[in-house]
Amino acid sequence: MRKVAVVGVGQTKFSGAQEKTSVELFAESAMDALSEANLKPKDIQALFLGNCLGDFTEGQGMVQAFAADNIGAFGIPANRYDGACASASMAIRDAFHWVASGFYDVVLAGGVERAATMGTSLATRTFAMFSDSRYEYPCGITFPGVFALLAHLYSAKYGIPLAKLKEQMAITSVQSHRYGMLNPKAHFHKEITMEMALGSLMVAQPLQLYDCCPFSDGAAAVVLTSEEKAKKLTNQLVYIIGVGQASSGPLANQQEYLPRLRAREISSKQAYEMAGLTPQDIDVCELHDCFSIASLIAAESLGFFDFGQAGEAWEKGEAAIGGKIAVNPSGGLKAKGHPIGATGAAQVYEIVRQLRGECGERQVEGAKIGMTDTLGGDGGTLCNLILQRG
Partner 1 sequence: MEYKLTFKEYNEALKKNKLLGLKCNSCAAITVPPKMVCRKCASPDMDIVELSGKGKIETFTTVYVAAEGREVEAPYIIVLVELDEGPWIMGNLIDIDPSRVTMELIGRRVKMGHKVFCGDKYSAGDGARPLFSFET
Would you count residue 198 as binding partner 1 (CB under 8 A)?
Answer: no
Residues 212-251, interacting with partner 1 (CB under 8 A):
249-251
Would you count residue 202 as binding partner 1 (CB under 8 A)?
Answer: yes
3-state secondary structure 187-226: CCCCCCCHHHHHCCCEEECCEEHHHECCCCEEEEEEEEEE
- Contact present, 191 and 181 (Cβ < 8 Å): yes
Among 112, 204, 219, 243, binds partner 1 (CB under 8 A): 204
Tell me the one-letter amino acid at 183: N
Minimum gap (Å) between residue 159 Cβ and partner 1: 11
> How far, in Å, CA of 85 to CA of 62, rounded?
18
- Contact present, 330 and 336 (Cβ < 8 Å): yes
The region of 8-16, 85-93, 232-240, 253-261 touching partner 1 under the rule CB under 8 A is 253-261
The region of 30-38, 65-73, 197-205, 352-360 touching partner 1 under the rule CB under 8 A is 197-205
CB of 159 or CB of 184, closer to partner 1: 159
Active site residue 285: no
Pick the catalytic residue from 177, 187, 288, 338: 338
What x-and-dash track marks residues 303-322 binding partner 1 by CB under 8 A? Answer: --------------------
Residues 257-286, interacting with partner 1 (CB under 8 A):
258
> How far, in Å, CA of 281 to CA of 304, rounded?
10
Minimum gap (Å) between residue 84 Cβ and partner 1: 15
Minimum gap (Å) between residue 132 Cβ and partner 1: 8
Pick the catalytic residue from 85, 213, 285, 383: 85
> How far, in Å, CA of 272 to CA of 278, rounded?
6
Would you count residue 253 as binding partner 1 (CB under 8 A)?
Answer: yes
The region of 25-33, 116-124, 223-231, 269-277 touching partner 1 under the rule CB under 8 A is 116-124
Dihedral (C-alpha) 324, 374, 36, 75: value to the nearest 10 degrees? Answer: 160
CB of 128 or CB of 364, closer to partner 1: 128
Closest CA to 49 of 102, 90, 6, 100: 90
Residues 128-157, interacting with partner 1 (CB under 8 A):
128-129, 132-142, 144-145, 148-153, 155-156
Task: Taking each helix axis as running N to C, give the angle between helix 292-301 and helix 162-180, from 0 to 180 degrees, rounded to the nearest 10.
Answer: 90
> How far, in Å, CA of 95 to CA of 91, rounded?
6
Closest CA to 346 of 44, 27, 50: 50
Minimum gap (Å) between residue 191 Cβ and partner 1: 24
How does DSSP assign 134-203, residue by residue? TTTGGGT--HHHHHHHHHHHHHHHHT--HHHHHHHHHHHHHHHHHHHTT-TT-S------HHHHHTSPEE
**Which residues in this chain contact partner 1 in the complex, by CB under 8 A?**
120-122, 124-125, 128-129, 132-142, 144-145, 148-153, 155-156, 162, 201-207, 249-253, 255, 258
Catalytic positions, written as ranges: 85, 338
